[in-house]
Structure 1
Amino acid sequence: MDIDAFVSAHRPVWDRLEDLIRRRRSLDGAEVDELVDLYQRVATHLSQVRSASADPILVGRLSALVARARSAVTGAHTPAWREFIRFFTVSFPVVAYRARWWWLGTTAVFILVSTVVAVWVARDPSVQASIATPAEIDQLVNHDFADYYSEHPAASFAGQVWTNNAWIAMQMIIMAILLGLPIPYILWQNALNVAASAGLMASHGKLDVFFGLITPHGLLELTAVFLAGAVGMRLGWTVVDPGTRKRGEALAEQGRAVMSVALGLVVVLFVSGLIEGLVTPSSLPTWARIGIGVIAEVAFLAYVTFFGRRAVAARETGDLERAPDLAPTAG
């Protein structure tokens, strides 16, 4: 690119945009339309200069001009409460909804593996013996499994559970940095833990106790873990198949989307922790405790489906950074 010729050809556009920005409070309708059009054109110029030139002065000037124009076009900074509402009605649910097939696949594989291993443990005494001694199994089945949910004060237990669950989900979010490759192993370990407990309880006729205690909080908790794993693996797949975008841009966008999920799951796992700390060990009948868990699960899935589908229809991506450096293309 001939920088001198480029500057000479486009300087009138830049100067005109400067003038419109200075007079933005007194612009008429036609000038506002012109401001938006010139903002898009200069953003494209910035993109061209960045890709074809290393001139820091020109890049700096155009970056500042685009930033000022964007501020003039979008108006004042959005209040914090509106950003908060937007996050929970757009950014988080749209990322979850767009990852729904990865999410569903992760859930299906986890349930299949857990079921197969649990049946194996329940039916094979030699497998049970490899897990623990008969005395240890008896202690787990008849005491430890149920006592786990009631041996601590409800409030502190809820906080402990929230921290633990959040850490499991964050592990998978962090593993996204490694393109999601370790995530199947983390899910496999969790599936084995669930299956071992289920198999041992079933072998002693305590499967009703198992589901009565794990279902109220487990539905929402595992759903959150599956979502974290799904978006992490989807990030890794972006390297293989970036779609129509450049691989770097696709990875950056998907990486920021993963952060949306990380922030949203803090709240989801907080709710799950409250259920595990306050509902699971409560004196409510089993059907009532399970009913609360089912209601929480259905409410979360309905929330993601409703707001996620609406955001997808509006062509939202859930990107936390609303493309300040991705120039719109004109024409």
Structure 2
Amino acid sequence: MTATLDAIESAALRSDRFRLEREADWKRLEAIVTRMEKGRIRGISDEDLPALPGLYRTVASSLSIARETSLDAATLAYLEALVQRAWFVVYGPRTSLWEWFRGFLGGGWSAAVRAIWVDILIAFAVMVAGTAVGWLLVSHDPEWYFALVPKQFGDARVPGASAEALKATIFGNSGQNGMSVFAAQLFSNNAQVSILAFALGFAFGVPSLLLLVHNMAVLGAMLWLYNGAGLTTDFAGWIAVHGTTEIFAILLAGAAGLHIGRSLAFPGRRPVLQATAQAGRRAALVMAGVVLMLVVAALLEGFARQLVDETAGRFAIGGSMLLIWLGYFFAFRGNDGHAASRDTPR
């Protein structure tokens, strides 16, 4: 009996000594965590905020020791609760999904796009070259048209078609299901191109650029076809309604893939993994916006282009969308400094 009492007394003394040696750090961490939980981060001193990670590790270590030495249940429960609360403050999500989305649209997305401007210029040059290649190939040999343009895009749009037949494909189709099917096919194709252009960036960006060339060669071939019928302006207006958004999205997707590829090939003074990880976070933010642009393009393609049946109106819609995107990406700053520091939601 005496031995049992001595053991209990020894354990109590050990627990008291353990608490007294470390309690100051526990209380300090608890005070910081409580303030942060209540949203009063500005009330935390300049000394306490940088000390937060170290205090968290100290208390976590205390909890580990307390478990191994079987200290009293009250101390264990206190430390477990404190460590859990501190973990959420130190490592937990900083923002809700809505707050992240607000920061994303409020400047984070545009900042990420501006950060890859070199890749955007390269991708743009490649897309222009791809359009020229498509035009030149079919102008030299019309059989190239059938090799470049997918069969589902063909219908009446083939070399040798009359101007009336080609004009009928871009005007007076607001009530025809065929145009909706064509629009859906075009959107599906461009969405796949965008995803692939980004996903293939890991191969130093080369496949991404080749994919852009091929996709734009299709547009070049169709431009040649409509130009031969004297419908270049009308066709451009028909494309512009959704194209200024959709083709811009493809451009950004290709640039995002190229950005990752360039970081792999030319990491600079940074380790390859670090350079690629940073590029990947930035490119992922750009791609999140590309998805949004494709949704907007689908709405324009499915409704605006069918409802507006004259070229000037189509150019007005497409031109307005292009100005909106350019203004947002390159003129709007918003809270990009804050948002860009959080490339992706944690």
Aligned equivalent of 2:120 = 103
Does the aligned pair in 2 maintain the 1:90–1:318 contact within 8 Å? Answer: no
Rate the CA distance shift 1:118–1:285 in 2: closer, same or farther, 3 A.
Answer: same
Q: In 2, Cα distance between the equivalents of 1:194 and 1:179? A: 25
- Structure 2 counterpart of 1:118, from 118, 124, 135: 135
Q: Within 5 A, what are the aligned runs for 1:194-273?
A: 194-273=219-298
Indicate yes or no: 2:291 matched with 1:274. no
Does the aligned pair in 2 maintain the 1:115–1:195 contact within 8 Å? Answer: yes
Q: Within 5 A, what are the aligned runs for 1:168-183?
A: 168-183=193-208
Q: Deviations over 1:62-114 (max 9, x none)?
A: xxx99965744699853332122012223322211111221122113312341
Stretches of structure 2 lacking an aligned partner (at least 5 in a row)? 1-21, 59-63, 66-81, 148-155
1:87 is matched by which residue type in structure 2? F
Q: Which has the larger radius of gyration?
A: 2
Stretches of structure 1 lacking an aligned partner (at least 5 in a row)? 1-13, 46-56, 59-64, 323-331
Does the aligned pair in 2 maintain the 1:17–1:35 contact within 8 Å? Answer: no
Q: In 1, Cα distance between the equivalents of 2:93 and 2:315? A: 47
Aligned equivalent of 2:51 = 38
Q: In 2, Cα distance between the equivalents of 1:86 and 1:202? A: 44
Between stretches 276-285 and 180-189, larger displacement belongs to: 276-285
Q: Deviations over 1:125-178 (max 9, x none)?
A: xx1144359994234865368537844278777665544432221111221343
3-state secondary structure, aligned to 2:108 = helix
Indicate yes or no: 2:321 matched with 1:296. yes
Between stretches 231-240 and 70-79, larger displacement belongs to: 70-79
Aligned equivalent of 1:83 = 100
Aligned equivalent of 2:344 = 320
Does the aligned pair in 2 maintain the 1:235–1:254 contact within 8 Å? Answer: yes
RMSD of aligned C-alpha atoms?
A: 4.1
Q: In 2, Cα distance between the equivalents of 1:278 and 1:35? A: 57
Rate the CA distance shift 1:246–1:130 in 2: closer, same or farther, 3 A.
Answer: closer
Does the aligned pair in 1 maintain the 2:263–2:276 contact within 8 Å? Answer: yes
Aligned equivalent of 2:142 = 128
Rate the CA distance shift 1:114–1:75 in 2: closer, same or farther, 3 A.
Answer: closer
- Structure 2 counterpart of 1:143, from 153, 157, 165: 165
Shift of 1:253: 2.1
Shift of 1:20: 2.4
Does the aligned pair in 1 maintain the 2:53–2:90 contact within 8 Å? Answer: no
1:287 is matched by which residue type in structure 2? A
1:256 is matched by which residue type in structure 2? R
Shift of 1:210: 1.9
Between 1 and 2, higher relative CO (CA 8 Å, sep ≥ 6) is seen in 1
Q: In 2, Cα distance between the equivalents of 1:169 and 1:212? A: 22
Rate the CA distance shift 1:154–1:91 in 2: closer, same or farther, 3 A.
Answer: farther
Rate the CA distance shift 1:241–1:20 in 2: closer, same or farther, 3 A.
Answer: farther
Aligned equivalent of 2:3 = none
Rate the CA distance shift 1:211–1:155 in 2: closer, same or farther, 3 A.
Answer: closer
Shift of 1:203: 2.3
**Percent identity of equivalent pairs:** 24
Shift of 1:32: 3.7
Between stretches 187-196 and 34-43, larger displacement belongs to: 34-43
Aligned equivalent of 2:28 = 20
Shift of 1:228: 0.5
Q: In 2, Cα distance between the equivalents of 1:34 and 1:302? A: 42
Rate the CA distance shift 1:240–1:297 in 2: closer, same or farther, 3 A.
Answer: same
3-state secondary structure, aligned to 1:138 = coil
Alignment length, in residue pairs? Answer: 291
TM-score (norm 2): 0.69
2:344 is matched by which residue type in structure 1? L
Rate the CA distance shift 1:189–1:113 in 2: closer, same or farther, 3 A.
Answer: closer
Q: Deviations over 1:260-318 (max 9, x none)?
A: 222211111111111122222334421111110110111011111244x4556559355
1:23 is matched by which residue type in structure 2? A
3-state secondary structure, aligned to 1:78 = coil
Aligned equivalent of 1:54 = none
3-state secondary structure, aligned to 1:112 = helix
Indicate yes or no: 2:118 matched with 1:93. no
Q: Deviations over 1:198-224 (max 9, x none)?
A: 112222322223212112211211111
